[in-house]
Structure 1
Amino acid sequence: MGKIGSDYKKINLADWNRKEHFSVYRSQMKCGFSLTTKINITNLLPFIKENGYKFYPVMIYLITRAVNNHEAFKMAMKDGELIVWDYVNPIYTVLHPEAETFSALSTVYDADFAAFMANYNRVAERHADDLRFFPETPPENHFNISAIPWINFDSFNLHIADFTDYFAPSFTIGKYQQQADEILMPIAIQVHHAVCDGIHVAKLIATLEAYCKDIGTVLKSQV
């Protein structure tokens, strides 16, 4: 399915129900918003361990699949027009422990889990010793994922100095912890208000939670 370049459709602003909201938050009152919540991954962890997967790439896949199911998170400006990518690829940070720096890598999205993992592993192997921030040119159709696996945070805010017309969302995941009978993982989401409202974030979180709860079924389905 996936490829670095992607097709897209143009949004007809004249007929769009968010035309006024888009105009206000893009030009008159430029703003984004962030939200931090905790995702229940109680069912996900045993599945990962039983199958010998690594946690981070599985989460990257699940977040990417959720993002690609919601148009509000795939919007961008292209040639002066608002568009929705057919799909977007994740740009994610990978730590270099000895240098204590990281690189931003990207894996071509594929709804098929095995294909996505194969793509991820090829990228990881190709750039294992590359300390550059961007070892490869990032795809135009992208969004962002990072991880702070050492901290179980309750709130996280990514401050972007100037995000004019930059509509790609950013996700940050933290250290998961057990609370009572559940294992919860913090996740922070930063979005541009011109294209995304609270209801859109809520729907995406619900999708991601459903994926984590019923992981076996999700990975069998490529929809």
Structure 2
Amino acid sequence: MTEPLNTAFTPIDQATWARREYFYYFTKMMPTGFSLTVNLDITKLLAWTREHGVKFNAAYLYLVSHCLTNHPEMRVGRVDEQLVTFDVVHPSYTIIHDDHSMSNLWTAYTADFATFNQNYLADLAQYGQQPGPMPKAPQSSNLFTIGSLPWVNFTAYTPLPFTPLQTFQPIFQAGKFTVTGSQTIMPLSITIHHAVADGYHVSTLFNDLQADFNQPEQLLN
């Protein structure tokens, strides 16, 4: 049995919300999002996954999801037009089929990596070759988009929606690894709505994520 999808949330009282004026400004007066790409050192994490026979993508999805549990500004969403902060957000990630078409799958985040990894592998086995953009239902409002482009190393990546952005969860995209000396580097971009996060929040998130990548042994805890 796969892990149940946690959709619990706390309503945001906009009358007392510290970010109320910024949210109004960046959604009504000057709707804005921004994207930032950084190079992360994945040397220790990559070595750990190879040593333990774990797919790197599973560790990547888990650690980003885990990091977001400590950043409430990255878990803002809407439920029936009510602005909320979700307890957790779950990764909706890209997979590539044998014919090079793609789909998005999601796996429920759980704090236990072994359980998450088991569910991730089960999702790949069940849905990995099913056609269509979203073969696994249901699509929850607390999914966040995370993917990778393992064929190209980039310095910037920016999704361009063709309609006004109505969601606030971050979008992540990783690029091709490069080896520099003894380090393996992975570019990782984040795109986020400015209504919920500023440069400080994104910088703090990346610093925390790098710290997690440097301590892969925590995946066994």
Instruction: Tell me the TM-score range normalised by the shorter chain.
Output: over 0.9
What residue in structure 2 maps to residue 181 of structure 1?
Answer: 182
What residue in structure 2 maps to residue 89 of structure 1?
Answer: 90
**What are the superposed Cα offsets for residues 29-83 of structure 1, whole Å, 9 maximum, x if unpaired?**
1110000001111111111111111111111111111112210111012222210
SS at match of 1:143: strand
Structure 2 unaligned residues grouped into runs of 5+: none
Shift of 1:165: 2.5
Q: 1:67 to 1:164 in 2, by over 3 A?
A: same
Output the amino acid matched with 1:199.
Y
What residue in structure 2 maps to residue 125 of structure 1?
Answer: 125
Output the amino acid matched with 2:128.
A
Distance, in Å, in 2 between the alignment partners of 1:60 and 1:113 is 10
What residue in structure 2 maps to residue 13 of structure 1?
Answer: 14
Shift of 1:163: 4.0
Q: 1:2 to 1:197 in 2, by over 3 A?
A: farther
Q: 1:163 to 1:219 in 2, by over 3 A?
A: farther
After TM superposition, where is structure 1 displaced by more than 4 Å over at least 4 residues in a row?
none
What residue in structure 2 maps to residue 157 of structure 1?
Answer: 158
SS at match of 1:166: coil
Contact 2:40 2:188 in 1 (8 A): yes
Question: Is 2:172 the partner of 1:171?
Answer: yes
Matches within 5 A, 1:137-152: 137=137, 138-152=139-153
SS at match of 1:64: helix
Shift of 1:181: 2.9
What residue in structure 2 maps to residue 107 of structure 1?
Answer: 107
Shift of 1:122: 1.1
Shift of 1:2: 5.6
Shift of 1:6: 1.0
Structure 1 unaligned residues grouped into runs of 5+: none
Number of aligned pairs?
A: 219
Contact 2:79 2:141 in 1 (8 A): no
What residue in structure 2 maps to residue 41 of structure 1?
Answer: 42
Q: 1:68 to 1:163 in 2, by over 3 A?
A: farther
TM-score (norm 1): 0.93
SS at match of 2:205: helix
Contact 2:78 2:141 in 1 (8 A): no
**What are the superposed Cα offsets for residues 180-214 of structure 1, whole Å, 9 maximum, x if unpaired?**
33211000100011111111111111111011101
Distance, in Å, in 1 between the alignment partners of 2:194 and 2:163 is 14
SS at match of 2:15: helix
TM-score (norm 2): 0.94
Contact 1:4 1:141 in 2 (8 A): no
Output the amino acid matched with 1:125.
A
Shift of 1:162: 2.2
Question: Is 2:88 the partner of 1:61?
Answer: no
Distance, in Å, in 2 between the alignment partners of 1:28 and 1:78 is 23
Identity over the aligned pairs, expressed in percent?
32
Output the amino acid matched with 2:173.
T
Shift of 1:220: 3.6
Q: 1:163 to 1:68 in 2, by over 3 A?
A: farther
Name the Cα RMSD after superposition. 1.5
Distance, in Å, in 1 between the alignment partners of 2:3 and 2:71 is 17
